[in-house]
Structure 1
């Protein structure tokens, strides 16, 4: 169990970009996506340790985990995070179909 879930700068930017893109196409869908994302982020306080280790972990040299938030149409948005002490640090929120992460895609914020 973690004390808090914190979105780092790349994740905040990702969330805004995805929300803006969805809003241009279907405003109600964008709101529903954002609400579902917030629910999943809140759930990470209790289940972050149980989420899968991301495929990129070995290449990145640290344990990076992932979970997903889905739209009502089944599109999966990937939430990429690390666990540090009692904090879940969300590094990225990724739209479907994006390439694997590189070191430069992971925020070094503390």
Structure 2
């Protein structure tokens, strides 16, 4: 059975983590921007249960977006950690090879 190709550039993994951080920040900014826009205001929604129901659905959607942003941050941190560990491992192997 063929062995998998496990060559990885730690810099690329770290860059992927940074890209996820940017996406997470964009998601968080979108949630902050949209939040006030979907909150029902008494001036336009009194007695309209459908408006309140839509606002509740939108709030649930924003909660999901916030969780997504948090999950992206966790994934980004994991990628940064993986890149650092991989780079340290590569350094250790390189030192071992130089030492003979």
- TM-score for both structures, normalised by structure 1: 0.28
Higher Rg: 2
Tell which has more relative contact order, 1 or 2 (C-alpha 8 A, sep 6+).
Answer: 2
More strand by share: 1
